[in-house]
Chains A and B, each alone.
Chain A
Amino acid sequence: MWYGFAGKLLRVNLTSGEFKVEELDKNELRKYMGCVGYAARLLYQEMPGGIDPLAPEAKVVLATGAVTGTLCPSGGSYEVCYKSPLTGTWNQARSGGAFGPKLKYAGFDFVVIEGKAEEPVYVYIHDGEVEIKPAKHLWGLNVEETTDALIRELDDPEISVAAIGQAGENGVLYAALINDRGRAAGRGGIGAVFGSKNLKAVVVNGRGGIKVARPKEFAEAVEKAEQWLKNYPFGSIPSLGTVGLVSLNNSLGILPTKNFQTAHFEKADQISGELLNRKYQIKRRACYGCSFACGRYTSVGSGKFATPPMEGPEYETVDMLGPICGVADLEAIIRGNYLCNVYGLDTISTGMSIAFAMECYEKGLLTDRDTEGMPLRWGDGEVMVKLVEKIAHREGIGALLAQGVKRMAEQLGPAAEEAAIHVKGLELPAHEPRSESKVLAVQYAVSPRGGCHMHPNWASTWDFGQLDCGMKEFGIPWPPTGMQDESPQKGVVYRYVALQGEISEILGACIFYSWGTEGSCITPQLYAEIVSALTGWDVTAAELMTAAERSWNLKRCFNAREGFTRKDDKLPGRFAQAIPDGPSAGARVENLDAMLDAYYEAMGWDRQTGLPAPEKLRELGLEFAIN
């Protein structure tokens, strides 16, 4: 009998058109807890190093965790784990909506996708049954059209569809997988991986429930979380959506602008959360099971950027299609967000690629000859929207942009390198490592999937947010030393921030709600209470921490096998230069190496190579990852 989990893994081989259902081993699952932790073990053991992420041998794991689809207030997530074609590293892309919960209700915790179908197909998983169905008629359709067609075809409005659009079919290296029309497993190019496998969509639905080991105790633990979250420090986010951060971040000088040339946008009031709510919001929207409801539906009624109702745009998207490109037109941003969702594009890499092109155009590295006469000037919303279309179809200059910033810079030569804002090939998101937080600078440098602020956590919680997230009792240095401090302590702090965040990743929880202090967020201790009552396993916070550490180390080992070491843990050159103007003028990153030394040491990793030491792996029971 399984509690909390469905207890089954589905293996779909697209080459042979066969599938297999495997029972999960309880002890093995508990060692990693589930979701990303267990997926890391699967991919490490089943996918040897050096495989082309777009080759049939590449595998993809759709993963849910213990709290996915339950009453845990943040439990709407699933993650897609794979080797990224954009970066060549481990990647995991999280998404909310209904897909994760419905996959579990359909009877599976994990789906492993292997091989390549000869012709386009989709996988339909419902109530323990699996069908691989032809999708030739869907190829070429966008995500919205695909979703609608599948709802009609399967005659079930309750299905959850995770599909790729034209961007994934065309192999855009940062194409996303979009579920429930407007929720993206965005980063790293999973859409291109689906496209390479001729896999248009995975569709799920189920009427099975999740059994609870100790229902009364579980209800009490969830009620406690509901009470605590009344004091959640970011509780104001839902009222404006994450876009509310635009005004705040701009006033603090931490709003990345013009391809990170500065961190301050004069026209921020023209793209604010307040304006979005007043003029374009239709309603607030939650992911399945989430009590936070940070999402929202927006539309533009008329004009050249007229847009049908669509979820978003979120803060990241507004900055990426807005200030990062110098664009101050909210209608263009909403339109751009819509197009990214229907074509299946990561809005962050899309915006950064456009901004990079704009900077290259400004510097004469790209000319009208390259752009078929279209000037790529900062702030031109129409050009931004046109480029999104061109990227999705790899048309004209879009084919260059579709490869992401790192490859573009390689093609455009050394003069372009300076403007290439990425780590390990992943374009940076909308947070300024120079001024927002130096722990964030460490995170950007070392994150398994490249320049990422979310997996496993938003590193700025500690020094920008002044939050311990329940980690004081585990030894997180306290009190915070200020955003600009670059002492080695920042590296030590990141160990705790990363492991605390990794707990959400291995449980299948959304990262929101794990930021706060005891009594105002879901701390590791509270997660342990919820998970214990749910699964019947008497899990402690310390056990969750160890499982998180396993997962974190395994991902590092996955990357090591692909050739990534300390030499790749670096920041774009621009961050060594001071921010030129605005409230945080003068801020820069000077001491990354010292912070990294301290981080590796705290993790028990070799300082020279930055890789987990054999003793560490042995201690964690990961002998198989020693090489």
Chain B
Amino acid sequence: MSKVLVVDPSLCTGCHRCEMWCSLTKYGEINPSRSNVYVIRREPAVDVPVVCMQCGLCIDVCPTGALKRDGATDAVVVDENICTGCGTCVKVCPYGVLRVDEETEVAAKCDLCSGSPACVNHCPHGALRYEDAGKAAARRREIWAMAHGVRIR
């Protein structure tokens, strides 16, 4: 089974290094606003990385067929030659993790770096992982459930 990206916000320190590595890898510059992984850092004490779930909802709405699933990683990828930057996909993404890049003017989203995600490779605290899909699914269930649980102090 292939691997998927999974986050554990409880380990995130809000350092934004994943965003910087993403933009460096994709555009050769350091710019968190050109990143395909998003760290929501708010006061007090909120640090949550938000990533693309590769759910494919955006594929279905793209009027030009610019979004496809990569056969090797199952990532949803943008064909920059076809994308017109119309932004239909931005509207439908339930996680808000797809944007139209201001410089290239085409859709930009996480493509799992062809199977070696830069953000995961460099997260200093293991808050981002690229794991076996089954294990990751279990972790996602756990994190989702615990986020909605009542905290007893």
Across the interface, A290 reaches (CB within 8 A) one of B10, B15, B30, B45, namely B15
Q: A285-B14, A286-B13 are in contact. List 13 more A-B contacts (CB 8 A).
A: A69-B30, A181-B43, A207-B33, A210-B29, A210-B30, A212-B24, A218-B24, A219-B24, A285-B47, A286-B14, A288-B15, A290-B15, A291-B17
A contact residues around B21 at 8 Å (CB): 71
Residue-by-residue, is A330-355 near B (CB-CB < 8 Å gives 1, otherwise 0)?
00000000000000000000000000
A293 adjacent to B124 (CB under 8 Å): yes
A147 adjacent to B43 (CB under 8 Å): yes
CA of A98 to CA of B14, assembled, Å: 10
CA of A291 to CA of B16, assembled, Å: 9
Residue-by-residue, is B1-23 near A (CB-CB < 8 Å gives 1, otherwise 0)?
00000000010011111001101
Least distance between B74 CB and chain A CB atoms (Å) = 26
Known A-B contacts A291-B124, A310-B44; A209 and B15 likewise in contact (beta carbons under 8 Å): no
B contact residues around A212 at 8 Å (CB): 24, 28-30
**Interface members, chain A 400-443 (any B CB < 8 Å):** none
Known A-B contacts A71-B17, A71-B24; A293 and B30 likewise in contact (beta carbons under 8 Å): no
A contact residues around B24 at 8 Å (CB): 71, 212, 215, 218-219
**Residue B109 lies at the interface, judged by CB distance under 8 Å to chain A:** no
Residue-by-residue, is A206-218 near B (CB-CB < 8 Å gives 1, otherwise 0)?
0111111001001
Across the interface, B29 reaches (CB within 8 A) one of A98, A147, A209, namely A209
**Interface members, chain B 68-107 (any A CB < 8 Å):** 102
**Residue B144 lies at the interface, judged by CB distance under 8 Å to chain A:** no
Q: B-contacting residues of A (Cβ < 8 Å)? A: 69-71, 98, 101, 105, 147, 157, 180-182, 207-212, 215, 218-219, 226, 282-291, 293, 297, 301, 308-310
CA of A283 to CA of B34, assembled, Å: 27
B contact residues around A219 at 8 Å (CB): 24-25
Known A-B contacts A215-B24, A291-B17, A301-B153; A209 and B30 likewise in contact (beta carbons under 8 Å): yes
A297 adjacent to B45 (CB under 8 Å): yes
Question: Which residue of A is nearest B41, CB measured?
Answer: A98
A283 adjacent to B43 (CB under 8 Å): no
B13 adjacent to A71 (CB under 8 Å): no
Interface residue range, chain B: 20 to 34
Least distance between B96 CB and chain A CB atoms (Å) = 14
Question: Which residue of A is nearest B23, CB measured?
Answer: A209
CA of A548 to CA of B7, assembled, Å: 41
Least distance between B137 CB and chain A CB atoms (Å) = 26
Least distance between B111 CB and chain A CB atoms (Å) = 18
Known A-B contacts A289-B16, A289-B17, A293-B124; A105 and B31 likewise in contact (beta carbons under 8 Å): yes
Least distance between B122 CB and chain A CB atoms (Å) = 7
B15 adjacent to A287 (CB under 8 Å): yes
Known A-B contacts A71-B21, A291-B15; A209 and B27 likewise in contact (beta carbons under 8 Å): yes
Least distance between A17 CB and chain B CB atoms (Å) = 30
Known A-B contacts A157-B42, A208-B31; A283 and B47 likewise in contact (beta carbons under 8 Å): yes
CA of A226 to CA of B122, assembled, Å: 8
**Residue B135 lies at the interface, judged by CB distance under 8 Å to chain A:** no
Question: Which residue of A is nearest B28, CB measured?
Answer: A215
Least distance between A596 CB and chain B CB atoms (Å) = 41
Across the interface, A283 reaches (CB within 8 A) one of B15, B23, B33, B45, namely B45
A contact residues around B43 at 8 Å (CB): 147, 180-182
Question: Which residue of B is nearest A180, CB measured?
Answer: B43
A contact residues around B13 at 8 Å (CB): 283-286, 293
CA of A71 to CA of B125, assembled, Å: 15
B contact residues around A282 at 8 Å (CB): 44-45
Nearest 9 interchain pairs by C-beta = A209-B31, A291-B124, A309-B44, A286-B13, A286-B15, A215-B28, A293-B13, A207-B33, A209-B29
